[in-house]
Structure 1
Amino acid sequence: MLEYMLDHVRAELIDTVHGLSETEARRRLVPSMTTSIGLVKHAAFAERMWFQHVLGGLPEAECDGAMAGEASFEVSDDETVADVIAEFERAGNRARAIAAEIDLDATRQRPGFGTVSLRWIYLLMIQEFARHAGHSDILREQTDATRRT
């Protein structure tokens, strides 16, 4: 059930950017740096941080993408919406592969969080991606409203 729910919110986050132009996906509609494409980019970072680095024990240098916290929302000019979605999907696929080999109650240490289990990581990611899908839904509503005017 945890895996199903995580996959469900992953798909919901991706759905919020489908059909957006490159300009629309990058448009800042709130005072922060939050953009629709930036939320997906950040989610890919979160997948790498929690599944590859924390759960899988990989050094940050061996994770398959950027590991910068706040900069994780930044999307370079040469990255497309399709590129960022593909990055998030790759990170999710690798997360599934790592988690498949680990018991739900297996624990790891994470500075700032203490002892966490795979079960805890699943719940954290479900919460994180659901929240960001909600943020992106609102940005999508704002974008869609400007199309009608």
Structure 2
Amino acid sequence: MKNPTRLTVGPERRLLEYMLDHMRTELTDTVRGLSETEARRRLVPSMTTPIGLVKHAAFAERMWFQHVLGGLPESACDGAMAGEDSFSVSEDETVADVIAEFERASSRSRAIAADIDLDATRQRPGFGTVTLRWIYLLMIQEFARHAGHSDILREQIDATRRT
């Protein structure tokens, strides 16, 4: 059965924005309903956790939309800008806090990008010249990959609930 809310045709920008929002939702949906302990559970050798993936996604939103696209200095971005620690979640942050942080960053990203042409260029050290179109594609890829990671972690967590 076809999903009535799925967008499969339309102008390029609308499709890019739809797919990015879809990947944002896919990522947060993998964490909703987890306990605080489950969300922090490390099931792989790296520091990757379900809540850490959402925390990192909030950092990516700030880096690419606020700092690169919007031209804000890192100090004016609305959260941590330390890439190496972008998966770290403090003990006093809850799942709801981290999801809300990601949703705020996503909302600000939408506002920043709203009036910028897809072909508008920005400079990013290490990447060179990028367009808004490229940033959309990068974020879709980034969030799809992390939603997949988180989906697997969630599957492992859910399996331990049944045993």
Could you state the TM-score of these two structures normalised by the residue count of structure 2?
A: 0.91
Please give the residue correspondences for 1:102-121 in structure 2 after superposition, counting only pairs within 5 Å.
102-121=116-135
Question: Percent identity of the aligned residues?
Answer: 89
TM-superposed CA distance for 1:70, in Å, is: 1.7
1:122 has 2:136 as partner: yes
Counterpart position of 1:27: 41
Q: CA RMSD in A?
A: 0.3
Q: Structure 1: any 5+ residue segments left out of the alignment?
A: none
CA distance in 2, matches of 1:28, 1:130: 20
TM-superposed CA distance for 1:101, in Å, is: 1.5
Counterpart position of 1:137: 151
Structure whose residues are more often helix by fraction? 1
1:43 alignment partner, one of 46, 53, 57: 57
Q: Which runs of 4+ in 1 moved over 2 A?
A: none
Q: Which amino acid aligns with 2:83?
A: G
Q: Deviations over 1:31-71 (max 9, x none)?
A: 00000000000000000000000000000000000000020
CA distance in 1, matches of 2:96, 2:127: 33
Please give the residue correspondences for 1:52-91 in structure 2 after superposition, counting only pairs within 5 Å.
52-91=66-105
Q: Which amino acid aligns with 1:129?
A: F
Q: Deviations over 1:99-119 (max 9, x none)?
A: 002000000000000000000
Q: Structure 2: any 5+ residue segments left out of the alignment?
A: 1-14
**How many corresponding residue pairs?**
149
